[in-house]
Amino acid sequence: MMIVELIDGDDFRARLTALGIDIPDGADPDTCARIAAQAHQQKAVPGLPALVHELMAQQAIMLPSVRQAIERFLPFE
């Protein structure tokens, strides 16, 4: 049996903070995405568009709340 770990809000927050984005503990996916978008607008965050593309390519293992937050606040093409 294969066990797949889902990309949840905690994983999403951890990946954003690894890029240097300051996100409070316990932030939900919408808050994480909104803060990331604001940070990127103020000064481009290297790696953020690539992270978004990577995550969106893994939609099968991403919780809907994370996908919706990315689509709402981080619509990189």
pLDDT in tens, 52-77: 999 999 999 999 999 999 999 999 86
pLDDT at 48 over 90: yes
Distance in angstroms (rounded) separating the CA atoms of residues 61 and 57: 10
- Give the pLDDT of residue 77: 65
Coil vs helix vs strand at 68 = helix
With bands split at pLDDT 50, 70 and 90, how would you rate the model's confidence at 30? very high
Tell me the whole-structure pTM to 2 decimals.
Answer: 0.91
